[in-house]
Amino acid sequence: MKIKVIHGPNLNMLGVREPEVYGRHTLDDINADLCSHAKKLGVDLTCYQSNHEGDLVDQIQQALTDGINGLIINPGAYTHTSIALRDAISAVAIPTVEVHLSNIHARESFRHVSYLAPVCLGQICGMGALGYRLAMDGLLNHLSCRQ
């Protein structure tokens, strides 16, 4: 089983950027925890981060060529603006779980709408770094039921 985690803009600043909102875990902490969890489950995991929308689209499209079974994406602010990411997820038709560290529905009104949610398997928000593990577990459960 191959899963790819895609982190969007500003997530490279975790641990520094607004820790009261996003927590004190760094992106390296989150990735290390996910890799450890994946190893225990026998999952081949890759992680990628970019602040550039086109790079994220390229990674989603490349996932199809790479035989990725599932995607986990935290699109950051692109959640609320990117039709391109939505279209890429829809185009590859790889089961995808959207993750947000904070509860986007309890924040500013412009954060309440996700362009990606309608083309994702599900959305996990407000659970901090744990949300990524929950996304992986849910995605693996979904994928195992499809086989």
Q: What is the pTM of this model?
A: 0.93
What's the average model confidence in pLDDT over 125-142? 95
Number of C-beta neighbours around residue 21 at 10 A: 10
pLDDT of residue 84: 98
What CATH number is given to the structural domain containing 66?
3.40.50.9100
- Catalytic residue, chosen from 22, 48, 78, 115, is 22
* Total of domains in the chain: 1
Structural domain boundaries enclosing 47? 2-146
pLDDT of residue 21: 66
User: Residue 141 to residues 1, 70, 110, 114, 134: CA-CA distances in angstroms?
Assistant: 12, 11, 32, 24, 11
- Catalytic residue, chosen from 7, 78, 100, 132, is 100
Q: Could you tell me if 102 and 127 are in contact, meaning their C-beta atoms sit under 8 angstroms apart? A: no
pLDDT of residue 129: 92
Confidence check: pLDDT of 71 > 70? yes
With a pLDDT cut of 90, the percent of the chain lying above it is: 82
pLDDT digits (tens, 9 = 90+) for 96-121: 999 999 888 877 787 778 999 999 99
Number of C-beta neighbours around residue 79 at 10 A: 23
* Residue 115 known to be catalytic: no
pLDDT digits (tens, 9 = 90+) for 6-57: 999 999 998 887 767 667 789 999 999 999 999 999 999 999 999 999 999 9
* Residue 22 known to be catalytic: yes
Measured distance CA(116)–CA(78) in Å, rounded = 9
Confidence check: pLDDT of 147 > 90? no
Residue, of 69 and 107, whose pLDDT is higher: 69
